[in-house]
Structure 1
Amino acid sequence: MASETNSNREHFGSRLGFILAAAGAAVGLGNIWGFPTQAASNGGGAFLLVYLVMILIVAFPMLVVEMAIGRYGQANPVDSMKSLTSNPAAKKLGGLVGWIGLSVPSAVLAFYSIVGGWLICFLLGAISSLLGLEQATEWFKGFSVERNLFGAIVFYAFTILIVQGGVKKGIEKWSTRLMPALFVLFALLFVYIITQQGAMEGLKHYLLPDFSKIWDRKLILAAMGQGFFSLTIGGCSMLIYGSYLSKKENLPKMAMNVTLVDTAVAFIAGLVVMPAMFVAMQKGVQIYAEDGSLLSSDTLVFTVLPLMFDSLGWWGELFSIIFFLLLTIAALTSSISMLECPVALVSERFDIKRSTTSWVLGGLIALFSIAIIFNFAQLFGLVATIATQYLQPTAALLFCVFGGWVWNRQAKIKELEQGCAEFSLGWFGKVWPSYVKFVCPLLVVTVIWASFG
């Protein structure tokens, strides 16, 4: 099956293109919104330290599995999972695992695009505020069905336009522009915020760990979950991007580069958001409740930080634009990888033009988003929970079990030795096959168990 779809498959044009695209897929609101929020809720520096350890022992080995399955299969998630075995029954099961995997990006995109739409509206609201257009600002920052529809549709249009361009002309071209822009915007924000009163206190809270909290069970589980989701393990994006990776490339090294870029973004987001929270506290914005818990963890990005920008006058408005532009870019680099998963399947299976597939599938998922917008209170939280707490960890566990137990050990090692001839000689090559088989499934089960706790 894998060889059939292999003949004219597009590949990334450069190493940097792949690293930035894959890191872009992983870098989303989870890094810029979720990570600092989790750090603020779980003791700052202690959380950061545990998170860095968890990324290496939980997320990285599984990222290698997902990328290796994609590159071995050279196809969409369904056909790549089937290619791992010649046993007819296991092949069928593999196909089913691929379909479960594919449901993840589709379900996540349905609610993620709504949030992406909010970001675009807040960005436009910040621009209209700077221009003194009060009515427009009020509309963009208000929470109405019309505004939510407008934002989501604009966000979908951007996502579809990038995906229809293909791997090199769409995903790679835009990732190599958007990701550096992300770092430049972060640097600007950091320089600005660190000069404000109260910022240094926030920086200390973030960078100096309280070692007594490091063994806190709640903190360890939160860090494990955050690491797992920040690299979109089980989200199919890494599998599909792996399938566009040349066999000449050193796969573990590429996976490590993606991990490092993704972790760097989360770390830098903390450098910006944590001091910003302390600056906001200096300005009288209440962030923590009496018991020390965050008051508005899920809306931190939309309430607390804009309040801080508002209190800083004209400069604040300017940096508010930079902040929401940054978040929109982060959301887009993820959404393009989500849409790419079903688009790859349909255009490969039915040999349909990519542009048609992108608009049709993007449109279908957008219809689901529109249904969520019209029934927001009932559906938004429900879809988000099903996608991130049930579907994604289940897909990750199944990828892990298939990659560890069904995929023959020799074939696995051979795949990784392409582009890295000495793979099985190093300690990682010796440990990894068994680690994926026994340790990774246990870790994923722990993440699933913790999400119900």
Structure 2
Amino acid sequence: MAGNREHFGSRMGFILAAAGAAVGLGNIWGFPTQAASNGGGAFLLVYLLMILVVAFPMLIVEMAIGRHGQANPIDSMRSLSANPLAKKAGAVVGSIGLMVPCLVLAFYSIVAGWLITFLLAAITDIIGLQAATEWLKGFSVSRNLFGAAIFYLLTIMIVQSGVKQGIEKWSTRLMPALFVLFGLMFLYIMTQDGAMEGLKHYLVPDFSKVLEPKLLLAAMGQGFFSLTIGGCSMLIYGSYLSKQENLPKMAMSVTLVDTAVAFIAGLVVLPAMFVAMQKGVAIYAEDGSLLSSDTLVFTVLPMLFDSLGFVGQLLAVVFFVLMTIAALTSSISMLECPVALVSERFDTARKPTSWVLGGVIALFSAVIIFNFGALFGLVATVATQYFQPVAALLFTLFGGWVWSRHSKLKELSEGCPDLERSLFWKIWPLYLKVVCPILVATVLYASFS
């Protein structure tokens, strides 16, 4: 299987695709919201530290497991040991991990569908189609089905084309577009009254808040989810990575690009929030807590855009294009996980496999839409607060304890011959065995409590 396995065509293609898998609504919606709710600059400082001490070491092991196995998550986990019992346990762990992207995609596509309908609403608003604008912005079953269907079509069409012609090709187009659009929005927002105050709130830390338990846990959780640790995306993309590449360096590059997107999102969203406050939009409650944190993207920012007249209408188009791109770069990695499993196990063609599996998950999304009140929050909670941290913990335990030190060294040394003499190798194996499981267990405990 490894011999004819498709690989990324370039180092930059892999970095942008893997960073795109990590970049999503969590970076552009979740991170600024968390920063605004937890002291701005203090949260940013702790978050950057948590990315380094929590996410980066675990990202390396997920990518390494994928490249070592040269297969889907289940078979890659099985490849870590020759012991029959460990192989069976590995298959179970891989199956749990595979549930994460499938469950996340089911609710994520609904939210991404809202982004698409808001994008279309911004366009219909400019051309004066008020009835269409109201329907696209309104919350209805038909509107939600429409938005999700468009998003699934875009996702499936990219995944069906394969690693080089689909995932890599579109990631190398969409990710640069993301940075350009962010730059344009930042330049405009900073010309508005209140923007500088928001920028100071974001970049200047209040050191008295840095050690607050709530902030520490929020930063650890955000850092953990920012790189989709436990989500299988990095494992499956790692399986398409050439053996000649230096894994720790590649993981660091992915981490830096992903963190840069989150950082730049904060540069745009927090100043925009303070501009909205200047224009009379309520952002914070009297106790200092953030109002409408879950719907910030769909309520507060559109109110800001409305207050800016025609320029605001154009900004709304740019913003929702940006959000849709971020959602799409994540969704293609989610669908790739089950597509890789089925196409490898049953030797099926990629195109029909992508459409069938995408269709099955889309049907699940439709069930959620028809039973939104009962299912949406439940599926989101089960996927992100339970399955993903559990999968991440199991990946870490298997990578640290089941996968032998010698085999790990051999895999990582493929693209880095001097690894054994490096400081990284002196620290990382023990850190992976002891520190990472404790940190992940802390995130998991916080999810349950």
| Number of the residue aligned with 2:436 | 440
When normalised by structure 2's length, the TM-score is 1.00
2:215 to 215, 219, 223: 219
1:418 to 414, 419, 422: 414
| Number of the residue aligned with 2:302 | 306
| Number of the residue aligned with 1:366 | 362
| Number of the residue aligned with 1:342 | 338
Question: How far did 1:135 drift?
Answer: 0.5
2:403 to 403, 407, 421: 407
2:375 to 360, 376, 379: 379
Question: How far did 1:304 drift?
Answer: 0.2
1:235-258 CA distance string (max 9 Å, x none): 000000000000000000000000
Question: How far did 1:452 drift?
Answer: 2.6
Whole-angstrom distance in 2 between the partners of 1:168 and 1:109: 22
Whole-angstrom distance in 2 between the partners of 1:118 and 1:283: 25
| Number of the residue aligned with 2:100 | 104
Question: How far did 1:25 drift?
Answer: 0.1
Task: Read off the aligned partner of 1:47 and give its amino acid letter.
Answer: F
Question: How far did 1:55 drift?
Answer: 0.1
| Number of the residue aligned with 1:58 | 54
1:119-177 CA distance string (max 9 Å, x none): 00000000000111101100110001000000000000000000000000000000000
| Number of the residue aligned with 2:254 | 258
1:294-344 CA distance string (max 9 Å, x none): 110000000000000000000000000000000000000000000000000
1:78 to 74, 81, 91: 74
Task: Read off the aligned partner of 1:213 and give its amino acid letter.
Answer: K
Whole-angstrom distance in 2 between the partners of 1:107 and 1:66: 19
Whole-angstrom distance in 1 between the partners of 2:198 and 2:86: 52
Question: How far did 1:194 drift?
Answer: 0.5
* SS of alignment partner, residue 136 of structure 2: helix
Map 1:7-406 → 2, pairs under 5 A: 7-406=3-402
Whole-angstrom distance in 2 between the partners of 1:54 and 1:421: 29
Question: How far did 1:7 drift?
Answer: 2.1
Whole-angstrom distance in 2 between the partners of 1:424 and 1:116: 44
Whole-angstrom distance in 1 between the partners of 2:336 and 2:43: 33
Instruction: Show structure 1 runs of 4+ deviating over 3 A.
Output: none
1:358-394 CA distance string (max 9 Å, x none): 0000000000000000000000000000000000000
Task: Read off the aligned partner of 2:291 and give its amino acid letter.
Answer: L
Question: How far did 1:451 drift?
Answer: 1.8
Task: Read off the aligned partner of 2:37 and give its amino acid letter.
Answer: S
Whole-angstrom distance in 2 between the partners of 1:110 and 1:136: 26
Question: How far did 1:450 drift?
Answer: 1.4
1:186-243 CA distance string (max 9 Å, x none): 0000001000110000000000000111011110110000000000000000000000
Task: Read off the aligned partner of 2:190 and give its amino acid letter.
Answer: I
Question: How far did 1:423 drift?
Answer: 1.2
Question: How far did 1:426 drift?
Answer: 1.3
Segments of 5+ residues of structure 2 without an aligned counterpart are none
| % identical aligned pairs | 78
Deviates more, 1:231-240 or 1:427-436: 427-436
Whole-angstrom distance in 1 between the partners of 2:245 and 2:150: 36
Aligned residues: 449
* SS of alignment partner, residue 84 of structure 1: coil
Task: Read off the aligned partner of 1:401 and give its amino acid letter.
Answer: L
1:85-105 CA distance string (max 9 Å, x none): 000011000001000000000
* SS of alignment partner, residue 6 of structure 1: coil
1:392-441 CA distance string (max 9 Å, x none): 00000000000000001000011000101111211111110111011100
Whole-angstrom distance in 2 between the partners of 1:226 and 1:412: 28
Whole-angstrom distance in 2 between the partners of 1:142 and 1:123: 13
Task: Read off the aligned partner of 1:403 and give its amino acid letter.
Answer: G
* SS of alignment partner, residue 46 of structure 1: helix
Whole-angstrom distance in 2 between the partners of 1:296 and 1:421: 51
Segments of 5+ residues of structure 1 without an aligned counterpart are none
Deviates more, 1:443-452 or 1:35-44: 443-452
* SS of alignment partner, residue 368 of structure 2: helix
Whole-angstrom distance in 2 between the partners of 1:450 and 1:271: 28
Whole-angstrom distance in 2 between the partners of 1:45 and 1:422: 38
